[in-house]
Amino acid sequence: MYPVSTDSVAPLETVFATMATSVQDALDDVNADIATLGEDTGWQTLTVKPGYAFRAGITTPLHHVRRLNNTIFLRLHMDFTVGSWSGSAVNFATIPLGFRPDYEVRWMGFRTSYSSSPVGGYITDAGEMIFQESNSPVTPGTHFSVLANPWIKA
């Protein structure tokens, strides 16, 4: 055993107070950094077309678009409620003004229970989210998720 001198050991109250101050300083730094990032719209809801709905049973809504400065982020989990799909290209949702891409953005999707056969589509500069015709005979499935890289909004 090594001898321990109590002369150099701070009381627990001092240690905890110092830790709390350090944590608060770190949080203040993070909040200051976030404030310098600029505009953050928070997650905004999309508009869905008849025959489609936002994924039911998910407690965290995953059907949103967000702008952080000029970068747009999308997260989307859908239910296909029509019953049958015509095989034609179909607009299933619309991205709100201010979030729409200035150019066509491609997305990939995965269907529940069919992750080995992805589907795809694109987002037009008018904000239309299109389930691509060439997916035929693959339908959206009962549930599907959309994955899209963030895009820049000028």
**Residue 106 lies inside a defined structural domain of this protein:** yes
Q: Determine which of 57-61, 71-75, 83-87 has the lowest per-residue pLDDT on average.
A: 57-61
**Residue 147 lies inside a defined structural domain of this protein:** yes
Confidence band of 26 (pLDDT split at 50, 70, 90) = low
pLDDT digits (tens, 9 = 90+) for 3-14: 555 555 556 566
Domain containing residue 74: CATH number: 2.60.40
For the chain, the domain total comes to: 1
Confidence band of 16 (pLDDT split at 50, 70, 90) = very low
Residue 25: its H or E element? helix 12-36
Quote the pLDDT of residue 90. 80
- Taking the C-alpha atoms of residue 4 and residue 2, their distance in angstroms, rounded to an integer, is 6
Q: Give yes or no for residue 1 having a pLDDT over 80.
A: no
How distant, in Å, are the alpha carbons of 40, 42, 88, 98 from that of 72?
A: 10, 11, 28, 10
